[in-house]
């Protein structure tokens, strides 16, 4: 069985024999030629249409030379399907991905199924993911981290299913950068003895570990804080351990951990604890030397957490300040990243109950996404925007829907 001690030891890394994957026969997405999406049980028609448009936009990217961007965008659609409890649709589209990310996507579907007790279906998806590691790639060698990303997700799902021997086989010698899924599963199922042993040893990682090892250790600590939230004494020790261990890490890593901790506190209905963590995060995000394309989304996400914690007034003010900051610093943001910076604000405005504000920001993001004359960034931004709208359930009005479909229909050279 993998323990926290073996998890720490597993960060040595190793070189794999890189495998390739078989070609797959693509099937059409759910939309018909007339633009009508097929009905999907448990999913509102407008959400299904948004998912269809997103996958069509991602799949419009030509394999040569944009297979990496195409697969990354397709994976985001798969992950959105899972967020909406649409595992069958997620798997349908996962199997259409044409590079190594097909294995990542199938493993993600497997983990979703395993978490819901659908063991046989999960095993089928695990077999699909493992099969990707064994097939031909069409002449392109994979990097070790790409194989390890698949292996880590397979291992994490086997751990969740209690298949410890299989988990150990796939987890052997993983690169440090890919340990996250395994650390997350271990933290979720940790005993008190596991947690205490990890906390005793983790100082060694903080003192001499690589960047990736320290980040994985911090993320594991955050998972333990969630696991033992009701144990105030142990949670306090975990909090102290985190703050002692992140001194040499970039402020963005600290903010990721604080965001995770605040979300965990809200999951346990600890609003006061979440607000205290958000108060700790705010001066980091407003005062640190963070690029505007990172600062604006961070402020939007923190505003959303503050709203969930019951501080609606401060959340609204934070969202307004984030939008004002975007406008003031827009020219400092690369054109291809401006829509990415705005998209989280759409989600925050929608959560705050400001539908018109959310649609207004969304329209702005959409137009920023088509400002580039090349279709590659247009397709990526369209897919990401449609995924965002589907995930939060914001139905486009007639004009915005028409614009999204227009952009989809005009994707083409130059790429």
Q: Where are the domains of the chain?
A: 190-290
Decide if 350 contacts 394 (C-beta within 8 A). yes
User: Using CA atoms, how far apart are residues 395 and 355, in angstroms rounded to an integer?
Assistant: 9
Q: Which neighbouring-strand residues pair with 297?
A: none
User: Around Cβ 394, how many Cβ atoms within 10 Å?
Assistant: 22
Q: What is the CA radius of gyration of the chain?
A: 22
How would you write the pLDDT of the chain (415 residues) with one tens digit per residue? 444 444 444 432 322 222 223 333 344 445 434 445 566 778 999 999 999 999 999 999 999 999 999 999 999 999 999 999 999 999 999 999 999 999 999 999 999 999 999 999 999 999 999 999 986 554 456 788 999 999 999 999 999 999 999 999 999 999 988 988 998 898 999 999 999 999 999 999 999 999 999 999 999 999 999 999 999 999 999 999 999 999 989 999 999 999 999 999 999 999 999 999 999 999 999 887 789 999 999 999 999 999 999 999 999 999 999 999 999 999 999 999 999 999 999 999 999 999 999 999 999 999 999 999 999 999 999 999 999 999 999 999 999 999 999 999 999 999 9
Give pLDDT, residue 17.
22
Which are the contacts of 207, defined by CB distance < 8 A and separation ≥ 6?
Answer: none
Burial of 93 (0-12, 13-18, 19+ CB in 10 A): buried
Q: How far is CA 404 from CA 31, 41, 108, 254, 335, in A?
A: 14, 24, 28, 36, 19
Tokens in use for 15? 């070189």
Give pLDDT, residue 32.
39
Give pLDDT, residue 20.
28
The dihedral built from the CA positions of residue 279, 284, 286 and 290, taken in this order, carries a sign that is: negative
Decide if 177 contacts 212 (C-beta within 8 A). yes
Return the SS3 of 280: helix
Decide if 318 contacts 299 (C-beta within 8 A). yes
Decide if 337 contacts 293 (C-beta within 8 A). yes
User: Using CA atoms, how far apart are residues 284 and 250, in angstroms rounded to an integer?
Assistant: 11
Instruction: Work out the angle at residue 177's Cα, subtended by the Cα atoms of residues 173 and 179, and round it to the nearest 5 degrees.
Output: 60
Give pLDDT, residue 8.
44
Helix axis angle, 63-83 relative to 375-392, nearest 10°? 10
User: Using CA atoms, how far apart are residues 259 and 280, in angstroms rounded to an integer?
Assistant: 10
User: Using CA atoms, how far apart are residues 271 and 307, in angstroms rounded to an integer?
Assistant: 10
User: Using CA atoms, how far apart are residues 331 and 258, in angstroms rounded to an integer?
Assistant: 29
Give pLDDT, residue 245.
95
* Residue whose token pair is 């996958």: 55
Q: Does the predicted model carry a pTM greater than 0.85? A: yes
Decide if 385 contacts 369 (C-beta within 8 A). yes
Give pLDDT, residue 143.
85
User: Around Cβ 355, how many Cβ atoms within 10 Å?
Assistant: 13
Give pLDDT, residue 142.
76
The distance in angstroms from the start CA to the end CA of the chain is 48
Q: How many CA atoms lie within 13 A of 26 on its CB side?
A: 14
Give pLDDT, residue 135.
64
User: Using CA atoms, how far apart are residues 292 and 367, in angstroms rounded to an integer?
Assistant: 19
Give pLDDT, residue 41.
78
Decide if 41 contacts 30 (C-beta within 8 A). no
Return the SS3 of 182: helix
The dihedral formed by the CA atoms of 84, 89, 91 and 92, expressed in degrees to the nearest 10? -160
User: Using CA atoms, how far apart are residues 353 and 120, in angstroms rounded to an integer?
Assistant: 40
Helix axis angle, 398-409 relative to 375-392, nearest 10°? 140
Q: Which residue, among 16, 17, 10, 84, has the nearest Cα to 44 in the 3D structure?
A: 84
């Amino acid at each position: 069985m993998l323990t926290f001690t073996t998890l720490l030891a597993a960060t040595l890394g190793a070189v794999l024999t890189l495998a390739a994957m078989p070609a797959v026969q693509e099937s059409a997405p759910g939309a018909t030629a007339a633009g009508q999406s097929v009905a999907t049980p448990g999913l509102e028609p407008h959400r299904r249409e948004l998912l269809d448009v997103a996958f069509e936009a991602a799949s419009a990217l030509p394999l040569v030379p944009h297979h990496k961007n195409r697969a990354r965008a397709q994976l985001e659609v798969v992950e959105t399907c899972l967020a909406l409890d649409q595992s069958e649709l997620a798997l349908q589209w996962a199997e259409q991905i044409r590079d190594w990310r097909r294995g990542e996507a199938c493993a993600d579907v497997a983990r979703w199924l395993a978490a819901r007790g659908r063991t046989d279906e999960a095993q089928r998806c695990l077999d699909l993911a493992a099969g990707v590691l064994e097939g031909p790639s069409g002449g392109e060698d994979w990097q070790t981290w790409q194989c390890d990303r698949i292996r880590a997700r397979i291992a994490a799902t086997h751990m969740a299913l209690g298949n410890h021997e299989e988990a150990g086989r796939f987890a052997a010698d993983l690169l440090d950068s890919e340990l996250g899924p395994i650390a997350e599963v271990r933290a979720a199922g940790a005993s008190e003895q596991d947690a205490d042993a990890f906390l005793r040893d983790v100082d060694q990682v903080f003192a001499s570990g690589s960047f990736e090892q320290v980040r994985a250790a911090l993320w594991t600590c955050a998972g333990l804080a969630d696991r033992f939230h009701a144990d105030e004494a142990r949670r306090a020790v975990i909090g102290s351990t985190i703050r002692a261990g992140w001194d040499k890490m970039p402020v963005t890593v600290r903010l990721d951990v604080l965001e995770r901790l605040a979300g965990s506190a809200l999951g346990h209905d600890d609003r006061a604890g979440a607000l205290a963590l958000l108060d700790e995060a705010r001066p980091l995000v407003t005062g640190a030397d963070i690029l505007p394309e990172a600062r604006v989304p961070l402020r939007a996400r923190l505003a959303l957490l503050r709203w969930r914690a019951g501080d609606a007034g401060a959340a609204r003010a934070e969202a307004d300040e984030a939008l004002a900051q975007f406008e003031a610093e827009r020219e400092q943001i690369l054109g291809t990243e401006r829509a990415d910076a705005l998209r989280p604000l759409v989600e925050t405005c929608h959560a705050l109950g400001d539908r018109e504000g959310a649609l207004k920001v969304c329209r702005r993001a959409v137009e920023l996404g088509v400002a580039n004359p090349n279709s590659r960034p247009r397709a990526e931004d369209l897919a990401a925007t449609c995924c965002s709208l589907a995930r939060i359930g914001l139905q486009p009005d007639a004009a915005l829907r028409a614009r999204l479909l227009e952009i989809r229909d005009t994707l083409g050279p130059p790429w």
